[in-house]
Structure 1
Amino acid sequence: MAQRGRKPKPTALKVLEGNPGKRPLNVNEPKPEKKAPKCPTWLEPEAKKEWRRMSRSLEAIGILTKVDAASFAGYCQSYARWKEAEEFLTKHGTIFKTPSGYIQQVPQVSIAQTYLKIMKDFCSEFGLTPASRTRINVDKDSNDCLDPMEMMLMGEMK
């Protein structure tokens, strides 16, 4: 059965955002190693390029961890397939004439839209959209500061 309500935000993102709701942070949340996972060999070449491009940045701010391999692979693969569909559309256009004379949309329009939506969903998870990024405040001194005593001293925990 599906969980009700809004999807919970990871504690790491809440800390980076400054805990705007001032709700108690989950200090018992699992804290996987903040290191980018290895790029899967089965990804398409364009997805591997995106993996290399984005993993460094996400690892540097502490968002991408060892356990995020499947989600991040999903983002990269969606990016590669979206780009492929967009390149097709740029080269061939968005419509064609059927043998009976009707004007019809090429399937790549729908494919591009689908993968763009999937990409956007993954981007929100990793804080990669402009809206999600505006809520993140990266403080280099407190990136690894989920210690309960430190949070209490900083006024994060009551």
Structure 2
Amino acid sequence: MKGRKPKPTVLKIREGNPGKRAINKAEPNAPDDVPSCPDFLDEVAQEEWHRIARILSDMGLLSTADRAALAAYCTVYSRWVHAEEQVRKFGTIVKSPDKGFPMKSPYLTVADQAMETMRKFLVEFGLTPSSRSRIRVDRKTAADDQFDLFVGAG
């Protein structure tokens, strides 16, 4: 299927449905729970998981259904961090292994590809300034929280 991906209904509603397109009333609802961090992630990826999962949860944009996508993002983040460490260590230009000619570091290629993949995931999760600016979230005030506690909704 070609063309622009459909926007998730939750994002469409939070943005105020600016295009006034029909809301999918049959869209499945994913559970709101924060997914558990997969054991297979390396240390850097696990640290990013805990950092970003808290942010997404606070924004109301994380579900247990997002576990694989979040794990993929964290894996690519870790790859980017490790590649950038190697670029700092060896530089952006290295000698080719066969004849010693200057060439672009393979680590720079890995870092660039990982960064582009990260950007795509960040947009999907609403974690870039431009993608975040299109999302509207109803913010609760302290008075709202007190009222919820009073009526037993909190």
TM-score, L = length of structure 1: 0.83
Corresponding residue number in structure 1 for 2:85: 87
Gap runs ≥5 in structure 2:
141-154
Corresponding residue number in structure 1 for 2:74: 76
Q: CA deviation at 1:22?
A: 1.1
Gap runs ≥5 in structure 1:
142-158
Distance in 2 of aligned mates of 1:101 and 1:6? 45
Corresponding residue number in structure 2 for 1:57: 55
- TM superposition outliers: structure 1 runs of 4+ over 4 Å: none
After superposition, the CA RMSD in angstroms is: 1.3
Classify the secondary structure of the residue corresponding to 1:30. coil
Q: Deviations over 1:48-107 (max 9, x none)?
A: 000000101111222110111100100011001001101111122111223634111110
State whether structure 2 residue 24 is matched by structure 1 residue 26.
yes
Classify the secondary structure of the residue corresponding to 1:74. helix
Question: Which AA in structure 1 matches 2:70?
Answer: F
Q: What number of residue pairs does the alignment pair up?
A: 139
Question: Which AA in structure 2 matches 1:133?
Answer: R
Distance in 2 of aligned mates of 1:96 and 1:5? 40
Corresponding residue number in structure 2 for 1:125: 124
Question: Which AA in structure 2 matches 1:21?
Answer: G
Classify the secondary structure of the residue corresponding to 2:122. helix
Q: CA deviation at 1:110?
A: 0.6
TM-score, L = length of structure 2: 0.85
Question: Which AA in structure 2 matches 1:81?
Answer: R
